[in-house]
Amino acid sequence: SITKTIHYGGLLLPYNENFELTLGNTGWNTVNPDSSISWDGCYFANGYTNGQKSIYLNCNAYDSIGQRDGLVSPLFNFDNYTNVTLSFKHAYAKKIGHADSLLIYVSTDNGNNWNRIYEISEDGSGNFSTHEDMNERFIPQTQEDWSDETIISLDEWSGNSNVRVKFEVYNDNGNCMYIDDVVISGNSVQNGSNAVNIPTIQVGQNYPNPFCVSSGRNIATSIDYVIKKSQNIKIDIYNIKGQKII
């Protein structure tokens, strides 16, 4: 079977995500090349300033190093915005002798190509860790275990209507890394009608693509589209043989 995740529009700004819903209902998709440990919702940590949940990756559970796990955003429409920024909070404690890395990318072609815009790992100076080093599994308990906002400029992509953001962790068999309160905002540029200019209809490439359907598995692909007003939408999906499957 196939699960269809349809998002209304290339999301306009401001955008706020605190991961209170299950991951499958947020519009974010995981990239898990080794089909093993990956991003998941966190319901057991504390110290939040907004809500009771977050998203996390348990690098502490890996037996080896070098795996990369991505978390890909919904499609955003930065058309008619300036001074666009991404902000987020994180929580992390380095495992003694092991430092995982956080990387952030931007894509304007639905993930076919990614531009790395940010990378960081704990270097021993406290530049990334929010808690002292520990060999045990790290779980945030207080607000002090969370960082202040990290703010990154996305203004290079202002005016682009097809933007995705990807968080990626490079595993060094370290510890759990938590992300919360993701915000993308910008200054709206008003046009003559005092509204953001949206094309009559715009359909993005599905993600992931390709995707497969296997017996007993529930595979999801997301299709983003932009329309000017709320209305009923019908989407037909065909396989490479031209056969309608949905």
Q: Is the pLDDT of residue 212 over 80?
A: no
Which of 72, 74, 43, 73 is CA-nearest to residue 56? 43
Q: With b meaning 16 or more CB within 10 Å and e meaning fewer, what string describes 193-226?
A: eeebebeeebebebbbeeeeeeeeeeeebbbbbb
Q: What integer pLDDT is reported at residue 7 of this predicted model?
A: 39
The pLDDT tens digits for 67-106 are: 999 999 999 999 899 999 999 999 999 999 999 999 999 9
The pLDDT tens digits for 129-188 are: 999 999 999 999 999 999 999 999 999 999 998 999 999 999 999 999 999 999 999 999
Q: How far apart are CA 57 and CA 103, in angstroms?
A: 13
Query: Which own/partner contact pairs does 156-160 have at CB distance under 8 Å and 24+ positions apart?
Result: 156/106, 157/78, 157/84, 157/106, 157/108, 158/78, 158/81, 158/82, 158/83, 158/84, 158/186, 159/78, 159/79, 159/80, 159/81, 160/78, 160/79, 160/108
Tokens of 124: 């021993």
Q: What integer pLDDT is reported at residue 6 of this predicted model?
A: 43
Task: Compute the average pLDDT of residues 17-45.
Answer: 93
The pair phi, psi for residue 60, each rounded to 5°, is -65, -25
Predicted TM-score of the model (pTM): 0.77
Is 155 in contact with 193 (CB distance < 8 Å)?
A: no
Q: Mean pLDDT check: name the lowest of 46-55, 56-65, 179-188, 228-237.
A: 228-237
Is pLDDT larger for residue 238 or for residue 91?
A: 91
Tell me which residue has tokens 């905002």.
185
Q: How far apart are CA 18 and CA 60, in angstroms?
A: 23
